[in-house]
Amino acid sequence: MQKNNVEQLLTQRTPVLLDGASGTQMIAAGMPAGVCPELWASEHEPLLAAMHRGYVEAGSQIVYAFTFGANPIKLREYGLEQRMEELNRRLVRVAKEAAGNRALVAGDMAPTGAFIAPMGPLSFEEVVEAYALQARALAEAGVDLFAVETMVDVQETRAAILGIRSVSDLPIFVTLSFDEAGRTLTGTDARTAALTLCGMGIQAVGANCGLGPAGMEPVIRAMHAVAEVPIIAKPNAGLPTGEVLPPEVFVQQMQALVQCGAQAIGGCCGTDPAYIALLRERVGHMATQGLCDSRPRAALTSREQTVYVGEGQPLCTIGERLNPTGKKKLQQALREGDDEYLLQMAYEQMDQGARVLDVNVGMNGIDEVQTLWQKVQFLAGRTAVPLCLDSANADALAQALRVYPGRALVNSVSAEHGKAEALFPLIARYGAMYIALPIGDDGVPETAQQRIALLQQILAKAAQYGIPRERCVVDALAMSVASQGDAAQQALGVIDYCHAHGLQTVMGVSNISFGLPARAQVNAALLLLARARGLSCAIVNVCEPTMHGAVAASDALLLGEEAVAAYALGYTQQEISQPEGLSGAVFAGERGRARALAQQLLQEGMDPQQVIAQSIAGLDQLGEQFAQKKAFLPQLMAGAEAAKEAFACVEPLLLGTDAQKLARVVIATVQGDIHDIGKNIVALMLRNHGFDVIDLGRDVKNERIVEAAKAYQAQIVVLSALLTTTMPRMGEVAQMLRAEGLGCTLMVGGAVVTPEYAEQIGALYSKDAAEAVEVAKAALHL
């Protein structure tokens, strides 16, 4: 077989044959465990050469040099960092000699083994640099392409691509390792990985290791459906179950992968030249699928998910609230580094259906470059939705784009002088989408026509940087209708044009209503008018009910049956009728209603004891449900808190009367044990059944428990322990209580405590908080 260049191979209508496992082969050849494989292989050149030759003879058109772990970070583990260049050079030479003119040689690059911040100790730039060093060594050694493989983290994969591209223009193949659920170790699904990486100037993307060929099918299918480049499949013959597929079965399953869209095929762990030879014989002449014609053009990704933009999709709502303009609390949070507050705002918007989050940190007295870089990394690590990076500062966007582990939306590129030149190189390098803002150096043009002219300038410049039109989302520019009477008409005109020319559109709708009353409905009206004419994205406050309703309802109307059902479900859940009365409010855990009803009943002259009885009736009802596993701990707690609200209304009226409490209880988690959730739950339940509970806390010395029992004249002492090592404290306390002649009842519970142990130490056992109430009542003959 003659050697072809990579491009020729990828455009042929039959599969490209890659090689199979190399580690497996070297172990079979005698490589011992625990050594640095790259070093050992370089010291056993004849064995390595034989391995490569085996694959070339079997028909591999591309073989991977044995440089998998030869990056400086991985080699550091073996103290071999200094020999990085030499090892790569030697290993590539052996592969090239074996390949001769029959096969191409790929420089194999793989995980560093450590994670990138904020997940691990390595900085992003440190990893980019490490890969750049290895890539330079590989390129100088004469590889024909790079194969970045077995990647488990999309961010590290990005670092590898950026590292390679900083030193070489050779083709890059990228394969990641997915689990049975179709995700990488750090949670990226196949479709999302393909979309994120394809935009970064690679020549093929796919999967290797992790799965067998059958298990890899959904992964290959998902990638093929979205990828802008050919697909690679290099599955294992050895399955996670320990089963090893024989060549016949492996090859049969590989045929299915080619039908699903794989263009370049080979094997990973457990395969050998026999598998590749059989692949060539049985699969080598099959027709490949080529690129998928119907792949979606516009999509954003986060580390964990893909959001499609455009026709047939829900409106892509971009939550606008992470923007400090006019928000004092957010400004403060940004200044003080209160990331939790940011997270809370992010979650509020996601809960209300925001599909993308806009992140803007521009404000006085803040280093925007540093802050955006930091917040984008933080939010990307904590939220599942893609981010829209919003800044007028090109440096801030550059830094944030570099570390964003997905396909971000850049907000925005205008036709102002120098903007395109500053931003398009970044957008091209990181594969981002961008909002085109048809504003020139003279400000915002009034008419749709003028805006379209500016848009065309922006698109022409994007094309110069190789950025396709589908990466563009056009801002239709909704200006204040109070100051420009036809503002809405002009914005809608831009949408009409874009819709007719296959461009996505976005609008920040709230500008339209500046200076008008009842702004929410004006905003919602514009959104719906625009949507009807093809608007695909909107920058909105999704937490505002009118807007939220307009988005949800229009999605339901436009997207068919499933969307209608989802819409209906969203509302039925809100409108479920709740049980009535005070007992009903307690049962449902509605604190506000419980308090209001208790107050109302008291005002109507109900006896305070009766009010208590009603709320306890609700708790008892809940306890029954709990016992039957129809209600669970959270509901029980919500009910208890609701009952507490009702008690709080009654309590002042009972002060000074002796009808106040059922009995006095001292409760504690025993010495040496710091677990207190169980104890807290029991305390709460007892309190709300009318007991006077004195909570001593956790890790409480035996002596203190006994002293408290004496001082408070407790009728019941309740002890909790979660460990076998701390449980004996219960027996000791039991003895001490008896020695002191205290006649109180001892109750015990906790993960390791058994009824037998309780009986042995003369205590009463209960399995959970609901039962503890029953046991306490029974002990007092109530």
Partner 1 sequence: MRVIRQFEAMPIAPAARDVLVRLGAYRSEDASMFKRATRELSSLRPSGRYVCVPVRLEQDAVYLADRRVESRSLARYLAGCEAALVLAATLGPRVCKAIAQAFEQGRAEDAVWMDAAASVAVDAGLDFMLQQARVQLRKETGVLQSTRYSPGYGDCPITAQGDLFALVQAQQLGLSLSEGMMLMPEKSVLAVCGVQYAKEQR
**Chain positions contacting partner 1, by CB under 8 A:** 23-24, 27-28, 33-34, 37, 68-69, 77-78, 110-111, 113-115, 117-121, 150, 152, 177, 179, 183, 185-187, 209-210, 244, 269, 303-304, 343, 347, 351, 381-384, 573, 589, 629, 632-635, 637-638, 640-641, 644, 671-677, 680-681, 684, 699, 723-726, 768
- With respect to partner 1, which residue has the nearer C-beta, 23 or 362? 23
> DSSP 3-state assignment of 378?
helix
- With respect to partner 1, which residue has the nearer C-beta, 60 or 150? 150
Count of CA atoms in the C-beta half-sphere (13 A) of 523: 25
Q: What is the Cα–Cα distance from 220 to 259, expressed in whole angstroms?
A: 10
- With respect to partner 1, which residue has the nearer C-beta, 151 or 401? 151
Q: Nearest approach, Cβ of 23 to partner 1 (angstroms)?
A: 5
CB neighbours of 128 closer than 8 A, spacing ≥ 6? Answer: 159, 162, 163, 166
Q: Nearest approach, Cβ of 121 to partner 1 (angstroms)?
A: 6
Q: Nearest approach, Cβ of 675 to partner 1 (angstroms)?
A: 7
- Starting from the edge strand earliest in sequence, which strands make up the sheet with 745-749, in order? 692-695, 664-669, 716-720, 745-749, 764-765
Q: Which of 239, 178, 228, 183 is nearest to 203 (CA)?
A: 228
Q: Which of 27, 126, 36 is nearest to 78 (CA)?
A: 36
Q: Nearest approach, Cβ of 723 to partner 1 (angstroms)?
A: 7
Q: How far is CA 701 from the centre of its chain?
A: 44
For 689, the token pair is 């059944």
- Would strands 306-308 and 299-301 be described as parallel, antiparallel, or unpaired? antiparallel
Q: Nearest approach, Cβ of 440 to partner 1 (angstroms)?
A: 42
- With respect to partner 1, which residue has the nearer C-beta, 246 or 545? 246
Q: Nearest approach, Cβ of 671 to partner 1 (angstroms)?
A: 8
- With respect to partner 1, which residue has the nearer C-beta, 461 or 644? 644
Q: Nearest approach, Cβ of 447 to partner 1 (angstroms)?
A: 45
Q: What is the Cα–Cα distance from 611 to 650, expressed in whole angstroms?
A: 8
> DSSP 3-state assignment of 765?
strand
Count of CA atoms in the C-beta half-sphere (13 A) of 596: 8
- With respect to partner 1, which residue has the nearer C-beta, 209 or 359? 209
Q: Would you say 170 and 139 are in contact if contact means Cβ atoms under 8 Å apart?
A: yes
Phi, psi of 119 (to 5 degrees): -80, -35
- Would strands 716-720 and 231-234 be described as parallel, antiparallel, or unpaired? unpaired
Q: Nearest approach, Cβ of 512 to partner 1 (angstroms)?
A: 33
- With respect to partner 1, which residue has the nearer C-beta, 113 or 731? 113
- With respect to partner 1, which residue has the nearer C-beta, 59 or 111? 111
Exposed (0-12), middle (13-18) or buried (19+): which is 533, by Cβ within 10 Å?
A: middle
- With respect to partner 1, which residue has the nearer C-beta, 489 or 725? 725
For 753, the token pair is 């405590």
- With respect to partner 1, which residue has the nearer C-beta, 684 or 763? 684
Exposed (0-12), middle (13-18) or buried (19+): which is 40, by Cβ within 10 Å?
A: middle
Which pairs with CB-CB distance under 8 Å and at least 24 residues apart come from 118-121?
118/377, 118/378, 118/381, 119/153, 119/155, 119/186, 119/381
Q: What is the Cα–Cα distance from 28 to 20, expressed in whole angstroms?
A: 14
Q: Nearest approach, Cβ of 330 to partner 1 (angstroms)?
A: 18
Q: Nearest approach, Cβ of 680 to partner 1 (angstroms)?
A: 5
User: The tokens 């608007």 sit on which residue?
Assistant: 535
